[in-house]
A and B are shown apart, each in its own frame.
Chain A
Amino acid sequence: MNPKPKFAMYWAASCGGCEIAVLNTHEKILDVDANFDIVFWPVAMDAKYKDVEAMEDDSILLTLFNGGIRNDENERLAKLLRRKSKILVAFGSCACEGCIPGLANLSPVGDIVYTAFNTITTDNPNEIYPRTTVDVPEGELHIPTLSKVVRPLEQVVDVDYFMPGCPPESHQIAAVIDLVIDVIKGKAELPPKGSVIAVGNSTVCDECPRTRNVKMIKEFKRIQDIAPADPTLCILEQGVPCNGPATRSGCNARCPQVGAQCIGCYGPAEGVIDYGARLITAFASVIDANTPKEIEHILDGIPDPTGQVYRFNLAGSLMKATKSAWEKA
């Protein structure tokens, strides 16, 4: 009998939620174990980088890579796993488009470190900032160096498939696992390289059961400020900036279904090149105002426009980062 195909999962700049989502597939995880030889999964089992380095190139069939590329360790592992894997999946929003850590691309990395170690809630009387190397009696210690900006996996290595979501829905993960198992057994074929897998092709609105009308927005509000919210009417029409219209379908409109606006974790819909730009023009298009002053007043209802429209997508957007983040080390 042939040895089982190898499976790896790695986390770079991410929160760990993607790993939990994989475990949330419940007994499906047993199928993974039954069909794959799990060779590398730092969150679940002990492994050393040197073990991976020792593997033959292309010897891992499937690697689910979650997290963006924030430091040189992330980058080294991305390149290593690319070399060792047949199928590399950018798994989850961080790997696909930078996600929340990507919002750091608004500021130069030095500012980020300074802010983290110098706010009033930080007790740092000696102004000690992290260094990448330090001498201790046992020798020199290294920690990874932060890169200037957060990059989605695709900006660092060639990626075979994308699986968006923060985190991806467990049933979709299960579907992908089933598919790969079927492929191994020769029962199915892989989708074309570069595909966004296991999700829909349209937007969250497509799956949202709320009623939609022609939109005329006089005021933007926060969800907690519309009371009582109409549970059957489009959330955007009620004045809450909902990212659903530009966000890829596949989550079954989870948030709008329970009365919260979509924040866009499934990333840009098919055909959307710059997610934030699309949303801004869409919101601007439905503002019901006649004077510049009115327009300004209405837009003041979105206090953090970047956070609103690029919450998950800044690092993966056309702009990728602010100029100052690019230029200052």
Chain B
Amino acid sequence: MTERIGVYVCHCGTNIAGTVDVVDVANWAAEKLKHQGVVIAREYKFMCSSLGQELIEKDIKELGLTRVVVAACSPHLHEKTFRTAAKNAGLNPYLVELASIREQVSWVHSNKTIGTAKSKAVVSGAVSRVIENAALEEIKVPINPNTLVVGGGIAGIQSALEIANAGFHVYLVEREPSIGGHMSQFDKTFPTLDCSACILTPRMVEAGTHPNITLLTWSEVTNVAGYVGNFHVTIKKKARFVNEELCTGCGICQEKCPKKVIDDVYEAGLGYRKAVYTPFAQAVPNFPVMDKENCTYFIKGTCKACEKFCPTNAIDFTQQDQLINVDVGNIILATGYDLFDARRVSSYGYGRLPNVFTSIEFERLSNAAGPTSGNIVLRDGKTTPKSVGIIHCVGSRDKNFNNYCSVICCMQGLKFAHLVHERTGATVYNFYIDMRTAYKAYDEFYQRVLEEGTLFVRGKVAEVTKAARKESEKGKLIIQVEDTLAGKQRRIPVDMVILSSGLQPRADSKEVGKMFGISCSMDGWFTERHPKLDPVATMTEGVFIVGCAQGPKDIPSSVAQGAAAAARVLDKILQKEVMLEPIKASINKETCSGCRICNGLCPFNAIAYIEDDKISDINPALCQGCGTCVAACPAGAISGTGFSDAQIMAQIDGLLLRNLITA
């Protein structure tokens, strides 16, 4: 049967029409691809608009189109739009093919002749391919109403609470002994200077006691299988050596433990904890964990002071790591960030010059619950600085480290300036490249800090040194900087330097991304489905990203994303079932020889080897149609619906214009 094909070429405003002669492309398709069944070819300003869609729907009905090719943007963007339009007009949505002449043509070319010629080839490929397309039916699967939230910082807590409050169960998994994340380490939050703990801990407690939240701290996700609606997750619950059923969180074990350990996680190396500890007083849950590497009993075989004094016999030295399997329908990743390691900017002297502090160290210094009870003092623990230099953009906006802006460092630097002023009366200098205070009430805070008398120097600091050149510099840290407003080099001696370090993706973000089936940007942040219109979803259905895992952001934005992802998850849960694309792989039993090359490849564990028949088989319920096995099968015995060899070969022929009738 000869197909009746409609070709629709989109201008996308000037996005496509600027580099491609769309009228020429449409006319060409109507004439040169007529023999393949093209009965109509139109161009329109915005095909995705309702008028554009109506145009297609009308043609399907009136001209009896059996196939549709839309030459427009990437299928990522509007494949669904045009498939829905086709469906509305009574055509199977899988008989629609998108030819990407925006991302793959107009945006990557500047020459209109080339752009037009290439667009014709791409359209020709899509026409040849669509002839081979098969009508497919979507598959309905039920959605498991449980949700996994990975990461118990403020963003993850927000997601978990929103979903739990709506009446659905959440597994909240946190790697550290307590939820709370970075926010629990801060003293004040900009720009309102609320006490961080005061606004965070009620949320932590709510999450810890919520009947719909299963809190798994000191735990990590080790494996994820399945797909939207039906994920199977394995979580490793690390041995705490404390029986959570019996522990009351009284703290006697911590008090009696004779082993002091420098706390370089929560206290950033400025304070001590015990070998059995909760990271901070308001920890949720308040059960301590045993640090096996430092516990005297684990090292020497004797001590057990904690066990002797525990009033409820909760200490259990025999505890083992546990693997917990949970089934969930959706996953929210709130895995946060790592702080840029200021040691890498060696010219700023962190780690070498004692009175150079990182931002997180300063947070702990200024925190009333911190190691100095909120006294801002030098590394000697007693001297109050008389002058302080705060350096912005440490590790950010710097080709040697990270190109991106870490978003929070300007406001963080201003907050530090205010706190130093308020608590010490010291002279404060802020060294900035550009001041970025673009958010509600942020610039007002900048004005306030200016009025408080903080001195601002616009310029990137070259180095921090203790090599004095004159008497007044002796015993000081000298900040060498080009003051770009004054147009001269300056040397500013101070007692204390604070490095406003940037944010970095988690060191293991790539592995974590791989485990959850999502990708990372070049920098390592998780990639959202659409940078503007879909910032919390990912290309993997049912996996969402919130907070700094997606990119640097402040607390309000993290909370907003946490809530946004929760809304997306609730939307999915309430739909009760999800439509899956009918793109599946299948194995031809006749041509499979059971070489087993595909066996270890399936990310969804859908392939099994049938020992009796000596061939491999795919479980269609588990197959996600990713195509890995289709590509790998050396015998060509595996094919994927929607991506058959016939479709792909036809598309190649079309792209190479082999389908044209030559005179």
Contacts and interface: CB of A to CB of B under 8 A. Distances in A.
Q: Do A and B come from one complex?
A: yes
Given A245-B597, A285-B601, A202 B632 contact: no
A215 B596 contact: yes
A245 B631 CA distance: 13
Interface stretch (B102-110, B232-240, B562-570, B587-595): B587-595
A206 B590 CA distance: 10
A201 interface: yes
Contact of A281 (B592, B596, B599, B631): B631
Interface centre among B593, B597, B634 (most CB of A within 10 A): B634
Nearest to A268: B636
Interface string A216-234: 1000000000000000001
Interface in B553-602: 588, 590-601
A159 interface: no
A286 B597 contact: yes
Contacts of B633: 278, 282
A201 B600 contact: no
A245 B594 CA distance: 9
Interface in B321-379: none
Interface in B595-639: 595-601, 609, 628, 631-637
Contact of A282 (B588, B597, B600, B649): B597
B636 A271 contact: yes
B650 to A, nearest CB: 12
A285 B635 contact: no
Contacts of A249: 593
Given A216-B600, A285-B601, A278 B634 contact: yes
Q: Which size bracket describes the interface of B in this complex?
A: 20 to 34
A105 to B, nearest CB: 19
B598 A270 contact: no
Nearest to B588: A271
A249 B595 CA distance: 13
Contact of B635 (A212, A213, A234, A245): A245
Interface centre among B595, B601, B631, B645 (most CB of A within 10 A): B595
A214 interface: yes
A279 interface: yes
A213 B598 CA distance: 11
B635 A271 contact: yes
B594 A214 contact: no
Contacts of B597: 215, 245, 282, 285-286
Nearest to A284: B632
B637 A206 contact: no
Contacts of B596: 212-215, 234
Nearest to B645: A273
A145 to B, nearest CB: 27
Interface string B478-497: 00000000000000000000
Contacts of B588: 271
A249 B628 CA distance: 24
A278 B596 CA distance: 14
B600 A286 contact: yes
A273 B594 contact: no
B647 to A, nearest CB: 12
Contacts of A285: 597-598, 601, 628, 631-632
A84 B631 CA distance: 42
Contacts of B645: 271, 273
B593 A205 contact: yes
A272 B591 CA distance: 10
A244 interface: yes
B5 to A, nearest CB: 25
A282 B591 contact: no
Contacts of A244: 595
Contacts of B599: 214-215
B586 to A, nearest CB: 13
Contacts of A236: 595
A272 B593 CA distance: 13
B598 A202 contact: no
Given A205-B593, A215-B600, A245-B595, A269 B636 contact: yes
A66 interface: no
A153 B637 CA distance: 26
Given A202-B590, A214-B600, A285-B601, A272 B595 contact: no
A269 B601 contact: no
A203 B645 CA distance: 19
Nearest to A208: B593
B634 A202 contact: no
A246 interface: yes
A278 B645 CA distance: 12
B595 A269 contact: no
Contacts of B595: 203, 205, 212, 234, 236, 244-245, 282
Interface in A166-210: 201-206
Nearest to A206: B593
B88 to A, nearest CB: 37
A224 B633 CA distance: 27
B651 to A, nearest CB: 13
A244 B635 CA distance: 9
Interface centre among B588, B597, B601 (most CB of A within 10 A): B597
Interface string A260-299: 0000000011111100001101101110000000000000
Contacts of B593: 202-206, 245, 249, 269
A7 B596 CA distance: 44
B658 to A, nearest CB: 12
Contact of A201 (B590, B594, B609, B634): B590
Interface centre among B632, B633, B635 (most CB of A within 10 A): B635
Interface in B473-517: none
Interface in A97-146: none
Contact of B636 (A206, A212, A234, A272): A272
A-B pairs, top 5 by smallest CB distance, nearest first, are: A271-B636, A282-B634, A246-B634, A245-B634, A205-B593
27 contacts: A201-B590, A201-B591, A203-B593, A205-B593, A205-B594, A212-B594, A212-B595, A213-B596, A214-B596, A244-B595, A245-B593, A246-B635, A246-B636, A269-B593, A269-B635, A271-B635, A271-B636, A271-B637, A273-B636, A278-B633, A278-B634, A278-B635, A281-B631, A281-B632, A281-B634, A285-B631, A285-B632
Interface of A: 201-206, 212-216, 234, 236, 244-246, 249, 268-273, 278-279, 281-282, 284-286
Given A249-B593, A285-B628, 12 more contacts: A205-B595, A213-B596, A214-B599, A234-B596, A269-B635, A269-B636, A272-B635, A278-B635, A278-B636, A284-B632, A285-B597, A285-B598
